[in-house]
Amino acid sequence: MFFPDAQHVDAIRRALWTDRDFGRAAVMVGAGMSRNALPRRPGRAVMPTWWDLISALIDRLYPQGLGEDRRRSELLRQAGATSTALRLADEYVAAFGRSSLDELILATTPDHDFKPGRLHRMLVELPWADILTTNYDTLIERVAETGYGQRYTVIRTPSELPAGQRPRIVKLHGSFPSIRPFVFTEEDFRIYPQQAAPFVNLARQVVMENVLCLIGFSGDDPNFLAWTGWVRDQLADYTPQIYLCGLLTLTNSQRMLLQGRGVTPIDLTPLFPTEKYPEPGIRHSLSLEWFFLSLQEGRPYDPLEWPAPTPTSTPPNNQLPAVLRSSQTVPRTENWRPNDHTE
């Protein structure tokens, strides 16, 4: 099947697999990745997303049957708009207080009712220069602590940066259960460059030094728009390649808009048509699995593994299209082991 964005996947792959301990590609992970978590107990289906949080705000601010049904319906239609989502969070703080907002976020996103899934493991097995995330949940750092892939330092607050060695998992917007504020309101985003200046400087450095891959975001995700807009403002024409990867279902004008903002879309929709993959959740998870397997294909040949390379920890899925193959043959560094659990 023809895949028009194949060359961009290959560009990330080449940046990722270099002859050093970690690659020259970094990743920023959004809320969509958390949908791949596994429930620990019955009654939990999938981890809520940013949009579920917005719906919870609307439920509290404009309960059904109290004369606000028209306003409620209007807000639900507009909840995908960045300005509406962030302003609703500010409205909630004005009505109920900041601590109430934090409690709502914690209640709506029950972190420890879920555990990392296969795709979280596949993510951390890749030799990213850094993993940045706007998610409050602890799924990524929990799977990293089990010993898959390279050793990551978890950075939850700017004060931890001086002692944090690369590669790092950086929690840009707070972390459950108590690293606050959980960046969520319009005011939070407005003051973020001043209040979290060390994180802003870190993100600038990461973007300047690496190819940046965004996973788990949509093109109109508030976190995506805030971060890519900031990068564009700060670095202008010197912005390195930023790739937005996922089932984006873009029109030509939407693709042009992203490219005008300095973001190259990698739209996996042609590989995963809805007629063949009708269930949205399965479709999204399979598309990410295909993407990670295609990145793993860039892992250079290691003479120490002759006559056969060590298989990846995740076998190919028969439901997937063929992964993109790589012709890279440069021996990889001896320091890299995809499943080294030793100290």
Element (H, E) at 246: strand 242-246
Q: Are 22 and 306 in contact (CB under 8 A)?
A: no
pLDDT tens profile 195-213? 999 998 898 888 888 999 9
Q: How far apart are CA 25 and CA 207, in angstroms?
A: 9
How large is the angle between the packed helices 98-108 and 82-96, nearest 10 degrees? 120
Q: Token match 């973001």: residue?
A: 263
H or E stretch including 255?
helix 252-260
Distance CA 294, CA 302 (A): 18
How many angstroms from the chain centroid is the CA of residue 191?
A: 23
Q: Which residue type is seen at 307? A: P
Torsion of CA 292, 293, 295, 301, to 10 degrees: 150
pLDDT digits (tens, 9 = 90+) for 3-23: 889 999 999 999 999 866 778
Give the three-state DSSP class for 172.
coil
| Terminal-residue alpha carbon distance, the chain | 43
pLDDT digits (tens, 9 = 90+) for 155-191: 999 999 998 888 999 999 999 998 998 999 989 988 9
3-state helix, strand, coil in the chain (%, to 5): 45, 10, 45
| C-alpha–C-alpha distance, residues 313 and 143, integer Å | 14
Q: Is the pLDDT of residue 311 over 50?
A: no
Structure confidence by residue, pLDDT tens digits, 27-55: 999 988 999 999 987 766 778 877 788 88
Q: Closest Cα partner for 215 from 266, 171, 286, 168?
A: 266
Domains of the chain: 6-38+115-305 (3.40.50.1220), 50-108 (no CATH)
Average confidence (pLDDT) over 135-153: 90
Distances, alpha carbon 122 to alpha carbons 126, 212, 291, in Å: 7, 17, 10
Q: Among residues of the chain, what percentage have pLDDT more than 90?
A: 43
Please check the confidence at residue 336 and state whether its pLDDT lies above 50.
no
Name the percent of the chain lying above pLDDT 70. 83
294: nearest Cα among 324, 316, 314, 319: 324
pTM across the whole model:
0.86
Q: Considering just the CA atoms, what is the radius of gyration of the chain in Å? A: 20
204 CB-near residues (< 8 Å, 6+ apart): 231, 234, 235
Residue 243 phi, psi dihedral angles, 5° rounding: -115, 130
pLDDT of residue 220: 67
Q: Which residue has the higher pLDDT, 268 or 220?
A: 268
pLDDT at residue 2 in the model = 76
User: Distance (Å, rounded) from C-alpha 155 to C-alpha 292?
Assistant: 24
What's the CA gap between 266 and 5, in Å, rounded? Answer: 6
Measured from the Cβ of residue 295, the count of other Cβ atoms closer than 10 Å reads 29
246: amino acid identity, one letter: G
